[in-house]
Chain A
Amino acid sequence: MKSLFKKLAIVGVAAMFIGGCSSEGASDSEKGGEEVSFPKRDIEIIVPYAPGGTTDTASRALTSVVSEYLPGGYNVTVVNKEGGAGVIGTTEVFNAKADGYKIGMTTVGPMTIKPHTDNTSYSPDTIEPIMQVVATPNVLVVKKDAPWQTYEEWFEYVKANPGEFTYSTTGAGLTQHITMEAFSAETGVKLKHVPYEGGAPAVSALLGGHVDGAVVQTLEAYPQIEAGELRALVNTGSFKSKGYEDVPLLSEVGVNVASDVWTGLIAPPETPKEVIDVLHESFKQALEDPKVIETFEKLGVEPLYAGPEEFGEIMKRDYDLNEEVLKSAGIIQ
């Protein structure tokens, strides 16, 4: 038995050595020595959603300026590979060559929820984080004529009337749903979940009076809140976004639940650290570019930077948390 392990270990080391040599040979065509010679051509970002969504528009805003900050001024192009709620595009990045020329945008769904429900080939442990780009909290909103003015009043009601309060969300098994399941697990309150296909249908279901409340991303409810049609009772995220300064976080009202919908850049596993550093540095500068800040502001999304290590931790934390919640909600075994 022991000798088998030994053999395996030798084979493994040999494979790593050969792998290392070959990748070195590929990237070091012109003897660069110690210097990092990345990039040498244009870079591709896989966006796992259709053109036009927030993730896509944010990616395009970043790529429109990032070549100014990349060594050599190479371009970065966005390639949309939608489907499977983001899993198809994220899998493509996972399987790509670890040379930094094909990286990807990913979000909380395909990275920390789908690996539990869809048996994906990747997980936060096997992917290389570059940085977090954007994060948006979710809010619980009700109609303006709803009887609850504050979170406390609402909480009293749902505690006294288990299973009465219906709320719509962006979809089954997404952050909004999982956050509320975590809320129920934490407080013991029973709510009735009605999943819709996206934030807009969820909001219109609430406006039409077909549900009692909705849990959606802050930007999806903002026009209605600004117009006084909807009222935000509580923020289920980890921070307060613009226009929602008065809405309490769940953690401020004594419930230990906080999840945001984040978007970040990832690279295939075992991408060399030097390459990650170049990408991280360039995209960090792009995120601080005034043009990008302005575009993000208009879109209603907030840049929220986190470096590679921190972003990796965020992914792993959400991944573990979601597993727990999905199990207790009976969605996975």
Chain B
Amino acid sequence: MIEAFAQVFELQTLLLVFLGVFLGVLFSAIPGLTATMGIALLIPYTFSLPQVPALGMLLGIYIGGMYGGAITAILIRTPGTPSAAATLLDGYPMAAKGQAGKALNFATIASFVGGIISCVILILVAPQLASFGLKFGPAEFFALAVFGLSIVGTISGKHAIKGMVIAALGLLIATVGMDPIGGVPRFTFGSINLTSGVSFIPALIGLFAVSQVIKEVEEKVKGSQQKKIKFQRERISLKEHFSYWKDYLRSSLIGTFIGIIPGTGTSIATFLSYNESKRFAKKERKKEYGTGIPEGVIASESSNNAVTGGALVPLLTLGIPGDVVTAVILGGLMIQGVTPGPLLFQNNGTLVNSLFITLIIANIFMLLIGLFAVRFVGKIVDVPKNILLPIVVTLCFIGSYSLSNNLFDVWIALVFGVIGFLLEKFNYPLAPLILGIILGPIIESNLRRTVIESSGDLSVLFTRPISGIFLTIAIVSFVFPLLKSLWNRFKGNEEEDDSSLSA
């Protein structure tokens, strides 16, 4: 253990971890650059470094990369990474109310708390938890994703029915591309560009950022510009943070849990956590989700950083990467001669301890960088719209292009920008579309795998305990509000009907 401390507390290691976190924040804040890309591009430079500094830098990017997306999501409604998509549900409305500083502050603290809690869980019980993640087979993934879909009501605000229509559209968009089981292209209209589906990040950038620009231009033309908002730095007392302790804790645990299951992904963690936050909120507070309240930001940001510690459980103990970022980190580990897997903890205990200490330090660096950055980046909201909007548009299109150096993705961003603009104009919520696109492939491929493995017997979905529980909760939370609304209508109390669906 002392040896591990000595390895980490070297100037070179600390500097590289700091650099990693900084680059991670930067890469994920800028649309079109991702932490995954950052890690992949830096791996060749780690060839010549010793183990601990090299891996420290990569883990630093990973951790910083979970946080940076929040900055652009809150300030300019452009989620730099998919994991920040849920952050803008309440983050951007907060900024629009003039509370950008507050929102960023909550996002920073939430990311730190999520990161640390998940690290502690990783350090204490990693080997014991690993086997739990493996219990998730096709049936369980299907059930979890269906449960994820049941939160459509929560993220649709006052328009639950419209939200369902949009979620269905999202599921439909998700079917474009290669059939995951049969291996044949679907709805690609002969275009090679569509064989791997509608590119997700360009669609995300289009839906939220490009559409927002179109909206603001429209407002300018119509002259219905809202009043000028000035950025204020708001200090949040520790007491105020503590008043949300349940939200911090719950979201961190959800994030860690989702992280441990290989193949689920950060976006799911953030949306589920947002949903649970609303579920446990007081009745009168529930209505305010989506209008810009700290709980929404905390839910999303705590959970996405908590995924880091969770996702390292299967990576380090089993050698199984749960998503693209951890797959790239696995490559980085192998280059350093480290083979993660069951033997790592036995044969290389010192290194494991060093990695654990590095993770904690990376989280502390992230907190410092975040708190420092909040002072400056928040000023973006003070930039006049006629200067800011062209910059945002440029960033959106360059970002969409640079993801895979493909001009087609720029068209996707543009088309989804128009779709997003039109949907919002007619009061259709956008978040369910994202949810549908994320969950569609998981639902489809795992349902079909379940059917193959059980030779067509669908009852396994309910007889397997984990999947049975998730499906039951999903059905109850879907049907119960409908029944309640019908009952209210039956009693002649029509006030609540549409909005109660979202409970």
Give residues in A with beta carbon < 8 Å to B: 50-54, 56-57, 60-61, 64, 79-85, 87-88, 91, 117-120, 166, 171-174, 177, 192-198, 200-201, 203-205, 207-211, 222-224, 226-229, 291, 295, 298-300, 331
Q: Decide yes or no whether B179 CB sits under 8 A from chain A.
A: yes
Q: How far is the CA of A13 from the CA of B180 in the complex (A)?
A: 46
Q: How far is the CA of A127 from the CA of B339 in the complex (A)?
A: 37
Contact A88 B192 (CB under 8 A): yes
Nearest chain A CB to B301 CB, angstrom units: 25
Nearest chain B CB to A326 CB, angstrom units: 9
- Least CB separation from B342: chain A residue: A227
- Which of B7-15, B32-40, B207-215 binds A? B32-40
Contact B262 A210 (CB under 8 A): no
Q: How far is the CA of A131 from the CA of B138 in the complex (A)?
A: 40
- Least CB separation from B138: chain A residue: A210
Contact A226 B36 (CB under 8 A): no
Nearest chain A CB to B333 CB, angstrom units: 10
Show 18 A/B contacts (Cβ-Cβ < 8 Å), sorted by A.
Answer: A50-B404, A51-B36, A53-B331, A64-B44, A81-B404, A81-B405, A83-B196, A88-B406, A118-B195, A120-B192, A194-B453, A200-B320, A203-B320, A204-B263, A209-B137, A210-B137, A298-B335, A298-B337
Nearest chain A CB to B169 CB, angstrom units: 23
Contact A195 B328 (CB under 8 A): no
- Which of B115-123, B182-190, B229-237, B274-282 binds A? B182-190
Contact B331 A201 (CB under 8 A): no
Instruction: Tell which of B180, B195, B331, B337 touches A172, judged by Cβ atoms closer than 8 Å.
Output: B180
- Least CB separation from B263: chain A residue: A201
Q: Decide yes or no whether B319 CB sits under 8 A from chain A.
A: yes
Contact B335 A295 (CB under 8 A): yes
Contact B262 A204 (CB under 8 A): yes
Q: Which residues on the A side are within 8 Å of B134 (C-beta)?
A: 204, 207-209
Give residues in B with beta carbon < 8 Å to A: 36-37, 39-41, 43-44, 47, 133-138, 178-185, 190, 192-193, 195-196, 199, 262-263, 314, 318-321, 324, 327-328, 331, 334-337, 339-343, 404-406, 445, 449, 452-453
Q: A223-B319, A223-B341, A298-B335 are in contact. Are A172 and B182 (CB under 8 A)?
A: yes
Contact B199 A83 (CB under 8 A): yes
- Least CB separation from B321: chain A residue: A200
Q: How far is the CA of A53 from the CA of B453 in the complex (A)?
A: 29
- Least CB separation from B42: chain A residue: A51
Instruction: Tell which of B192, B327, B335 touches A299, judged by Cβ atoms closer than 8 Å.
Output: B335
4 tightest A-B contacts by CB?
A51-B40, A223-B341, A172-B183, A173-B183
Q: How far is the CA of A179 from the CA of B336 in the complex (A)?
A: 32
Q: A166-B452, A299-B334 are in contact. Are A52 and B342 (CB under 8 A)?
A: no
Contact B339 A222 (CB under 8 A): yes
Q: Which residues on the B side are within 8 Å of A291 (C-beta)?
A: 47
Nearest chain B CB to A298 CB, angstrom units: 5
Nearest chain A CB to B192 CB, angstrom units: 5
Contact A210 B36 (CB under 8 A): no
Q: Which residues on the A side are within 8 Å of B190 (C-beta)?
A: 119
Q: How far is the CA of A48 from the CA of B251 in the complex (A)?
A: 37
Contact A52 B137 (CB under 8 A): no
Q: Which residues on the B side are within 8 Å of A91 (C-beta)?
A: 192
Q: A50-B36, A85-B195, A201-B262 are in contact. Are A195 and B339 (CB under 8 A)?
A: no
Q: A195-B181, A298-B334, A331-B183 are in contact. Are A52 and B327 (CB under 8 A)?
A: yes
Q: How far is the CA of A195 from the CA of B136 in the complex (A)?
A: 16
Q: A60-B44, A204-B318 are in contact. Are A171 and B137 (CB under 8 A)?
A: no
Q: Which residues on the B side are within 8 Å of A209 (C-beta)?
A: 134, 137
- Least CB separation from B341: chain A residue: A223
Contact A84 B193 (CB under 8 A): yes
Instruction: Tell which of B47, B183, B196, B335 touches A195, judged by Cβ atoms closer than 8 Å.
Output: B183
Q: Inter-chain contact count A-B, CB under 8 Å? A: 160
Contact A227 B341 (CB under 8 A): yes
Q: Which residues on the A side are within 8 Å of B339 (C-beta)?
A: 222-223, 226
Q: Which residues on the A side are within 8 Å of B321 (C-beta)?
A: 200
Contact B405 A79 (CB under 8 A): yes
Instruction: Tell which of B40, B44, B199, B452 touches A61, judged by Cβ atoms closer than 8 Å.
Output: B44
- Least CB separation from B333: chain A residue: A298
Q: Which residues on the B side are within 8 Å of A204 (C-beta)?
A: 133-134, 262-263, 314, 318, 320
Contact B192 A51 (CB under 8 A): no
Q: How far is the CA of A81 from the CA of B452 in the complex (A)?
A: 34
Nearest chain B CB to A290 CB, angstrom units: 12
Nearest chain B CB to A231 CB, angstrom units: 14
Q: Which residues on the A side are within 8 Å of B36 (C-beta)?
A: 50-52
- Least CB separation from B343: chain A residue: A227
Q: How far is the CA of A298 from the CA of B334 in the complex (A)?
A: 6
Q: Which residues on the A side are within 8 Å of B406 (C-beta)?
A: 81, 83, 88
Q: Which residues on the B side are within 8 Å of A222 (C-beta)?
A: 339
Nearest chain A CB to B196 CB, angstrom units: 5
Other CB < 8 Å A-B pairs besides A91-B192, A207-B320, 10 of them?
Answer: A51-B36, A84-B192, A166-B452, A192-B452, A193-B452, A200-B262, A204-B263, A209-B134, A223-B319, A229-B342
Q: Which residues on the A side are within 8 Å of B137 (C-beta)?
A: 205, 208-210
Nearest chain A CB to B33 CB, angstrom units: 11
Query: Chain B CB within 10 Å — which of A83, A208, A223 has the most?
Result: A83
Nearest chain A CB to B268 CB, angstrom units: 15
Contact A197 B327 (CB under 8 A): no
Nearest chain B CB to A122 CB, angstrom units: 11
Nearest chain B CB to A203 CB, angstrom units: 6
Nearest chain B CB to A176 CB, angstrom units: 12
Q: Which residues on the A side are within 8 Å of B335 (C-beta)?
A: 57, 295, 298-299
Nearest chain A CB to B157 CB, angstrom units: 33
Q: How far is the CA of A125 from the CA of B343 in the complex (A)?
A: 46
Q: Which residues on the B side are within 8 Å of A198 (C-beta)?
A: 327
Q: How far is the CA of A117 from the CA of B195 in the complex (A)?
A: 11
Q: How far is the CA of A100 from the CA of B52 in the complex (A)?
A: 40
Nearest chain A CB to B58 CB, angstrom units: 11
Q: How far is the CA of A91 from the CA of B136 in the complex (A)?
A: 38
Nearest chain B CB to A280 CB, angstrom units: 23
Nearest chain B CB to A83 CB, angstrom units: 5
Q: How far is the CA of A207 from the CA of B47 in the complex (A)?
A: 31
Q: How far is the CA of A61 from the CA of B449 in the complex (A)?
A: 37
Query: Chain A CB within 10 Å — which of B44, B183, B445 has the most?
Result: B183
Nearest chain B CB to A70 CB, angstrom units: 18
Nearest chain B CB to A111 CB, angstrom units: 14
Contact B341 A226 (CB under 8 A): yes
Q: Which residues on the B side are within 8 Å of A53 (C-beta)?
A: 327, 331
Nearest chain B CB to A315 CB, angstrom units: 20
Q: Which residues on the B side are within 8 Å of A51 (C-beta)?
A: 36-37, 40-41, 328
Query: Chain B CB within 10 Å — which of A81, A205, A331 has the most?
Result: A205
Contact A208 B40 (CB under 8 A): no
Nearest chain A CB to B340 CB, angstrom units: 7
Q: Which residues on the A side are within 8 Å of B334 (C-beta)?
A: 298-300
